[in-house]
Structure 1
């Protein structure tokens, strides 16, 4: 697309997807780019980890959306552990290749935020309350003002205002179970067990599983990042704060269902560092229409079992950039982007549901599994591809 074809673009949301979108819109020649981020300070990450498949990472490095200078930890294999007697780590029921890089969410975000050009206006504390699109552009209304733009990119997360405008009535569907998340300084676990570097742990039990890997802490040390998925019968997850029912379920899992080391990991994380994540499924049938375009979680929210949330957001941005480069105008570029990415969103949402069903809602009898049975079971869940993200050329 010729430089300057897009007169002005508002990016709603300044997280990973929003920062990356602002970067590529500026590179594509947009004369004015304004990011509206409702947070008033630096976005909090609470030590959350992001796993990026090495092949997907290579694509994103080539696209200029991941910086090689961002610290990361390598993962090579995945060990599946089940509680068995008093073994600290549990019994290994299977070992599979797991070529991923482990990042801290905040490190990825800060690197992207630092690369947003000075010419881009990045407004913090800017809450968008309404948008109104017509043939000539889009009006973006805040609490006390409004501005007109030639186009709007929605990077405003799972509760996207832009998605609501583009697809009225399309609402996220609750997965029916939450994730508990935390990150424990590695030094707190010394002497408990020998969990070797490069191993991603999947600790499985009846009705859920725990995923654990190391991430950099940004100060030369490491955090042990963990995510626990399990049902909590008769209880809805409403907020990020642990209520009595979710604390009780966590205590039950750590005390009775996890091998000792992994239960101790959660205890040593500390109650104030553990939070709940609500899980949803939603995907927009169209990623772009008229002057509006969606990317990241605003376009699709797939359950984190897919190992591809941040990857898919950055892939959306990479395809937007190539569509802008190959389009004659905004309309043709947006149509090309939609055709390429909407089917990927549908596939990723379906994969997240399948993985959630097998890993949480209808778990096998883990104690009878051997390596061959585990491999066959996993192939049945993820064999259609997409775990860790689909390649940009697929």
Structure 2
């Protein structure tokens, strides 16, 4: 019967959203098992939500209207000046295109905290709980932790990311596929921009900058800081695989884990490829705020088995080009909750079936769009030196058309109501 106990493996954005959904659906006990022993506030950097998607999530009750965020309005694409042209005022590069960009930017931890505050108080968070195995059948499920403790539940939800233990139990054939390039990431106090030529004024606060070079790009925007009223610079640098990086499975190098030599190599590459201002923006990043994330693709062929379910990055790994990661996770939890409200017959089985039916194809669409954007913007990018505004606009529209954006799986994620089917 519906109710009983639910375990959520993973306590980040997707995990918190699913935990809240399970509690609101009437589970008598909801336990979040998060392997990180301390607070999660330092995890992650910046992310964005498209304005309409944010409004939908507020209307659905997942986010508060006053969730702290930074408003963006335009996305300015630039590249290095042609031979003899120079790189324009303050070394900001040659403008390619100015694109409308109706997005909010967020600090991961601020958004996560906003979700936690809306999670019912009955949800139990257990930090430092590493789940090493899960299993179950039509009648129940269980988790096993690193100390050997096995606990039974009525439902186990996997929100445990790239290397999901729950996904391995549901569909072991679903393995993340390396995209062939990486993204370096960093963030720091925006006050440091004052030390650059032109200072912070060379880069308007409502602007997302995309700096293109042969074989990659850097996306930069401001986000709220952890302290109310503070602002951070956030950047994502899509780049070739470093010579020293040898992958034998999904991995990442967190903030503070990179050597001076590795960081110097990234900065030297930025100085060689980017206009001077933007290379300077990256160079301001402290080593302890710089990380490396190899990029992967994954669309699980199905999301449920027996009393097991996966969502968020455990179910779909989408390249950041889509700007839809947080929206995707919250929409997964929303779909699960809506299915439970529509199918109120007292059992979990039809809820899981409806969720799988709705979110599996939506995830495939997002993954495919991310691949299309990655090819167009990184691996088979155009010769930026020959691009202007009209060529950029046509190039962008072609990407969205190839990705089936008119069908709803567009840049920034699809509309929330699109998957509210019975």
CA distance in 2, matches of 1:237, 1:97: 38
CA distance in 2, matches of 1:168, 1:76: 42
Contact persistence 1:14–1:36 (CA under 8 A): yes
Contact persistence 1:174–1:280 (CA under 8 A): yes
State the shift of 1:246 in Å. Answer: 4.7
CA distance in 2, matches of 1:83, 1:46: 33
CA distance in 1, matches of 2:129, 2:25: 24
2:362 is aligned to: 344
State the shift of 1:158 in Å. Answer: 1.0
Pick from 230, 239, 242 the counterpart of residue 230 of structure 1.
239
Matched, 1:136 2:133: no
CA distance in 2, matches of 1:224, 1:59: 27
CA distance in 1, matches of 2:246, 2:285: 21
State the shift of 1:121 in Å. Answer: 1.6
SS at structure 2 position matched to 1:338: helix
CA distance in 1, matches of 2:370, 2:317: 9
Write out the 4+ residue segments of structure 1 that deviate beyond 6 Å after TM superposition.
Answer: none
- CA-to-partner distance for each residue in 1:234-275, whole Å, 9 max, x for gaps? 553654133577535523332121111111011111233211
CA distance in 2, matches of 1:349, 1:237: 24
TM-score normalized by the length of structure 1: 0.95
SS at structure 2 position matched to 1:92: strand
Pick from 106, 114, 125 the counterpart of residue 122 of structure 1.
125
Change (3 A) 1:47 1:35: closer
CA distance in 2, matches of 1:311, 1:325: 21
Matched, 1:42 2:39: yes
CA distance in 2, matches of 1:263, 1:273: 16
CA distance in 2, matches of 1:254, 1:309: 26
Change (3 A) 1:268 1:233: closer
CA distance in 1, matches of 2:191, 2:264: 27
Note the aligned Cα RMSD (angstroms): 1.7
Which blocks of at least 5 consecutive residues in structure 1 are unaligned? none
State the shift of 1:170 in Å. Answer: 1.8
Matched, 1:324 2:340: yes
CA distance in 2, matches of 1:244, 1:350: 36
1:390 is aligned to: 414
Pick from 360, 373, 387 the counterpart of residue 378 of structure 2.
360
Contact persistence 1:175–1:279 (CA under 8 A): yes
CA distance in 2, matches of 1:228, 1:203: 9
1:22 is aligned to: 19
CA distance in 2, matches of 1:46, 1:140: 25
Pick from 160, 167, 184 the counterpart of residue 156 of structure 1.
160
CA distance in 2, matches of 1:311, 1:104: 14
SS at structure 2 position matched to 1:393: helix
Pick from 319, 329, 339 the counterpart of residue 313 of structure 1.
329
CA distance in 2, matches of 1:81, 1:237: 32
Pick from 296, 302, 308 the counterpart of residue 312 of structure 2.
296
- CA-to-partner distance for each residue in 1:101-129, whole Å, 9 max, x for gaps? 00100001112223322212211111111
Q: Which stretch of the first structure deviates more once superposed, 235-244 or 110-119?
A: 235-244
- Equivalenced residue count is 391
CA distance in 1, matches of 2:262, 2:376: 22
- CA-to-partner distance for each residue in 1:110-154, whole Å, 9 max, x for gaps? 122233222122111111111121232012111232111111111
Contact persistence 2:135–2:308 (CA under 8 A): no
CA distance in 1, matches of 2:172, 2:69: 40
CA distance in 2, matches of 1:237, 1:297: 23
Matched, 1:86 2:87: yes
Matched, 1:192 2:229: no
State the shift of 1:69 in Å. Answer: 2.5
2:106 is aligned to: 103
Q: Which stretch of the first structure deviates more once superposed, 366-375 or 85-94?
A: 85-94
CA distance in 2, matches of 1:150, 1:355: 40
Which blocks of at least 5 consecutive residues in structure 2 are unaligned? none
CA distance in 2, matches of 1:257, 1:362: 17
State the shift of 1:233 in Å. Answer: 6.0
Contact persistence 1:76–1:98 (CA under 8 A): yes
